[in-house]
């Protein structure tokens, strides 16, 4: 029980760390194209893939077992498959986003500023929605 609780605390902290990066992405998107914070770009590039990986790893060991305990076999199979598919999508989107930010810093971005802003917003809005759903699942089964 204590181990489960600390796992949930760890996952909660990992969610907050990832959501902090989403806030940073939103600030960056709001600043396009006139006031690009290059230091913030570098923080996002350096930390986003690892924070996503950390959250996904903790969800495999903390969230998914909790969901499995509470649902019927068919229900949990579909739910967990859906969440894993969203993780794969977010991982790919993060890689693409880091590439675009690097291109921005190198002044060789091929996308328009509108397209870059849209990409940033789509990413952090998707991640925020995904985490909101998973937090509900986690706390419901705590």
Contact 51, 17 (CB under 8 A): yes
* Residue 112 φ/ψ, nearest 5 degrees: -75, 165
Nearer to Fe ion, 41 or 134 (CB): 134
Chain positions 40 to 69 lying near Fe ion, rule: CB under 5 A, are 59
Residues near 110 by beta carbon (within 8 Å), at least 6 away in sequence: 103
Nearer to Fe ion, 41 or 55 (CB): 55
In the complex with Fe ion, the residue whose CB is nearer, 41 or 58, is 58
CB of 123 to Fe ion, least distance (A): 14
Name which of residues 89 to 128 contact Fe ion (CB under 5 A): none
Q: Which residues bind Fe ion (CB under 5 A)?
A: 59, 134
């Amino acid at each position: 029980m204590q181990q489960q609780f600390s796992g949930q605390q760890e996952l909660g902290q990992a969610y907050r760390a990832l959501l902090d990066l989403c806030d940073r992405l939103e600030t960056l998107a709001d600043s396009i194209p006139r006031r690009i914070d290059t230091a913030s770009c570098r923080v996002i590039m350096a930390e986003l893939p690892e924070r996503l990986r950390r959250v996904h790893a903790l969800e495999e060991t903390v969230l998914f077992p909790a969901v499995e305990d509470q649902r019927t076999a068919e229900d949990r199979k579909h739910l967990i498959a859906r969440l894993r598919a969203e993780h794969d999508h977010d991982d790919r989107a993060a890689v693409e986003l880091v590439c675009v930010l690097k291109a921005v810093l190198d002044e060789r971005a091929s996308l328009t500023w509108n397209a870059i802003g849209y990409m940033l917003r789509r990413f952090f809005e998707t991640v925020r929605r995904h985490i909101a759903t998973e937090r509900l699942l986690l706390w419901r089964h705590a």
